[in-house]
């Protein structure tokens, strides 16, 4: 005869309560994992089929499904991908915008006046304020001195390079100025 073990009813009640709480906790945990997976997959993929598949994996396999999901999910969220593409674009644009030498097309710095590789003249210097000027400018934007050394106008004032002129004429682009003076000569 097996001796009958009397379990006090209070112990049974306590065990039932613990089991109920434990069960409820695990159910909540399971649902939370499913919700988390669904949200995380949505952040990482636009493909709704992949999102549903990932969620189903956790629904069916529970925590093991979550482990599988961690192994398979895309490493970056869509927002991170977007941010990275923006950064790359900005970097490319920055590279493209850096000035290049017209002679050897190597990258040059904006402050250089001569290319160190092929000795092509990149900038000219204002004779009055010593600022670097673009070769095409025919007036210094810093002090207003007309510059004689621009590509076409240099033959207009032979022997007076960079002379500060007291000029009351309206400032016109170089090409127009040449037309103006040549028509005056003829």
- Neighbouring C-alpha atoms within 13 Å toward the C-beta of 42: 6
For 126, half-sphere exposure in the C-beta direction (CA atoms, 13 angstrom radius) is 18
Binding mask 127-146 for Zn ion (x = CB under 5 A): -xx----------x-xx-x-
Q: How far is the C-alpha of 111 from the C-alpha of 123, rounded, in Å?
A: 8
177's tokens:
């100025």
Task: Out of 31, 64, 104, 165, name the contact with Zn ion by CB under 5 A.
Answer: 104
Written as six digits, the tokens of 52 are 């549903």
Q: Which of 103, 135, 139, 157 binds Zn ion (CB under 5 A)?
A: 103
Among residues 80, 83, 88, 117, which is the contact residue for Zn ion, using CB under 5 A?
Answer: 117
Residue closer to Zn ion (CB basis): 52 or 129: 129
113 belongs to the binding site for Zn ion (CB under 5 A): no
User: Is 129 within 8 Å of 139 (Cβ atoms)?
Assistant: no
Using rule CB under 5 A, residue 149 touches Zn ion: no
Cα 117 from Cα 103, distance rounded (Å): 9
Site size for Zn ion, by CB under 5 A? 14
Pick 20 or 104: Cβ nearer Zn ion:
104
Minimum distance of Zn ion from residue 92's CB (angstroms): 23
Does 67 participate in binding Zn ion (rule CB under 5 A)?
no
């Amino acid at each position: 005869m097996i001796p009958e073990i009397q379990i006090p009813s209070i112990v049974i009640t306590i065990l039932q309560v613990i089991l109920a709480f434990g069960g409820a906790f695990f159910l909540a945990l399971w649902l939370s994992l499913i919700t988390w997976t669904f949200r995380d997959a949505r952040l990482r993929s636009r493909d709704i089929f992949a999102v549903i598949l990932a969620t189903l994996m956790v629904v069916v396999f529970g925590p093991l499904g979550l482990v599988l999901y961690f192994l398979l999910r895309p490493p970056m969220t869509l927002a991170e991908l977007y941010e990275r593409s923006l950064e790359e674009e900005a970097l490319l644009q920055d590279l493209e915008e850096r000035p290049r030498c017209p002679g050897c097309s190597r990258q040059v710095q904006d402050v250089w006046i001569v290319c160190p590789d092929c000795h092509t003249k990149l900038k000219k210097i204002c004779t009055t304020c010593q600022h670097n000027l673009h070769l095409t400018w025919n007036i210094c934007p810093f002090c207003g001195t007309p510059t004689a050394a621009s590509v076409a106008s240099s033959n207009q004032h032979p022997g007076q390079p960079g002379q500060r002129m007291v000029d009351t004429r309206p400032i016109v682009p170089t090409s127009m100025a040449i037309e103006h003076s040549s028509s005056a000569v003829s």
